[in-house]
Amino acid sequence: MASNFLTEFSSNSIILERVTNLNAQHIDLVHCPICCNILWKPVACNLCENSFCYQCIEKWLFEQQEQIIEYIDNDNENDYLIKSLSLTRCPFNCSPYKERKCSPLLTSILSKLTIECRNKLYGCQEILLYEQLEKHEEEFCQYKIIQCSGCKQDMFKSIFDKEHLLNCPYIELECKKCQSIFKRKDKHNKFDCMEQQICLLKQNIITCEQKSLKIFDIQRKKTDILDEKFAIIEEIYGHDNDTDDHDDQQTNKIINSIEMLTQLFSFQLIKIWQIMIAIGLIIFILLI
């Protein structure tokens, strides 16, 4: 059994005393065999169908794995294969452990529980349904203890939201114009802001120049390839006086098309669809 397995209670642990309407018949169904508290975001073992808090079973499996790896003989493959089977044993010795959703009955029972806010000790009198509890405690409870990211002081959420957040000199702020981060006590004047904006513009210009150079280098290589092909075609067809007028016309069409492509590649940043249309044009001319 897992009753002797020690685990740290997470901030979301719900002790039995916090539940105001717990039916004595349901205690065994809704308690976690690892932490012995009310199940929180439970999952079940596919083999024995026992349910555990998600965090509890994850911690259980991790600690079991750590313990077993210490005793594995690395030089013996069979030893590893045999012992590795127990790396996924559930607290009730099911192996391999496979996770599945809890039964609809358990989900229904949990959803009807009414639970005291964990901040009751600090003055919160709210009693909430199981599914409402997390949102209240994390986002809305005015008695939640918050540590200021600036001065590191602990205080109630109500005080932090209404007073401290707007006045603490050590809280970091971000300027929307220049994106610089500074503490409120250091302030941020217009001159500093403009100076930072100029630095950002310089960085953006450098980045754009680097991208442009890469693009133009690619286009230049494409142009060189087309020039080579153009030279080959001109060499083959340009000096052949025995060909008939039809062949001359066809050759001129090909040369003119390649020249058009060369201009496109040389003076514009060609999009993919433009390239495909140009290639299609050449194929169409060849088939005429």
Mean pLDDT of 147-152: 89
Distance in angstroms (rounded) separating the CA atoms of residues 99 and 186: 52
Mean pLDDT of 144-161: 89
- 258 part of a folded domain: no
10 has pLDDT over 50:
no
Residue span of the structural domain in which 146 resides: 117-168
Whether residues 73 and 104 fall in one domain: yes
Average pLDDT, the chain: 77
Whether residues 155 and 190 fall in one domain: no
Whether residues 158 and 195 fall in one domain: no
Whether residues 148 and 111 fall in one domain: no
**Range with lowest mean pLDDT among 76-80, 136-140, 224-228:** 76-80
pLDDT (0 to 100) of residue 174 = 81
Whether residues 26 and 101 fall in one domain: yes
Whether residues 141 and 186 fall in one domain: no
- 81 part of a folded domain: yes
Q: For 169-207, how does the pLDDT look when each residue is reduced to its tens digit (9 = 90+)?
A: 888 888 877 777 878 788 777 777 777 777 877 788 888
pLDDT (0 to 100) of residue 71 = 59
What the block records as the tokens of 62 is 């991790």
Q: For 64-106, how does the pLDDT look when each residue is reduced to its tens digit (9 = 90+)?
A: 777 666 655 555 555 555 555 556 788 998 888 899 999 999 9
Query: Which residues contact residue 19 at a Cβ distance below 8 angstroms, ignoring those fewer than 6 apart?
Result: 38, 113, 114, 115, 116
Whether residues 66 and 158 fall in one domain: no
In terms of phi and psi (left: phi > 0; alpha: psi -120 to 50; beta: otherwise), the region of 275 is alpha
- 266 part of a folded domain: no
State percent of the chain over pLDDT 90. 30
25 has pLDDT over 70:
yes
Which backbone phi and psi does 182 adopt, to 5 degrees?
-150, 155
- 15 part of a folded domain: yes
pLDDT (0 to 100) of residue 107 = 93
8 Å CB contact between 171 and 184: yes
The residue with greater pLDDT, 226 or 246, is: 226
Whether residues 156 and 92 fall in one domain: no
CATH number, residue 104: 3.30.40.10
pLDDT (0 to 100) of residue 202 = 79
**Local structure of residue 137 (DSSP, 8 states):** I
**Range with lowest mean pLDDT among 16-20, 68-72, 208-212:** 68-72
111 has pLDDT over 90:
yes
Half-sphere exposure of residue 240, counting CA atoms within 13 Å on the CB side?
A: 15
- 108 part of a folded domain: yes
CA angle 142, 145, 148 (to 5 degrees): 110
C-alpha closest to that of 185 among 158, 157, 161, 151: 151
Whether residues 41 and 102 fall in one domain: yes
Overall number of domains in the chain: 3
Whether residues 108 and 51 fall in one domain: yes
Dump strand ranges (E) for the chain: 42-45, 51-53, 99-100, 114-116, 127-129, 145-147, 154-156, 172-174, 181-183
Q: For 42-52, how does the pLDDT look when each residue is reduced to its tens digit (9 = 90+)?
A: 999 999 999 99
- 153 part of a folded domain: yes
Whether residues 61 and 144 fall in one domain: no
CATH number, residue 138: 3.30.40
Distance in angstroms (rounded) separating the CA atoms of residues 229 and 258: 9
Whether residues 78 and 30 fall in one domain: yes
pTM value is: 0.55
- 57 part of a folded domain: yes
- 259 part of a folded domain: no
Give strand pairing partners of 183: 172
Give strand pairing partners of 52: 43
**Local structure of residue 120 (DSSP, 8 states):** G
**Range with lowest mean pLDDT among 70-79, 88-97, 147-156, 271-280:** 271-280
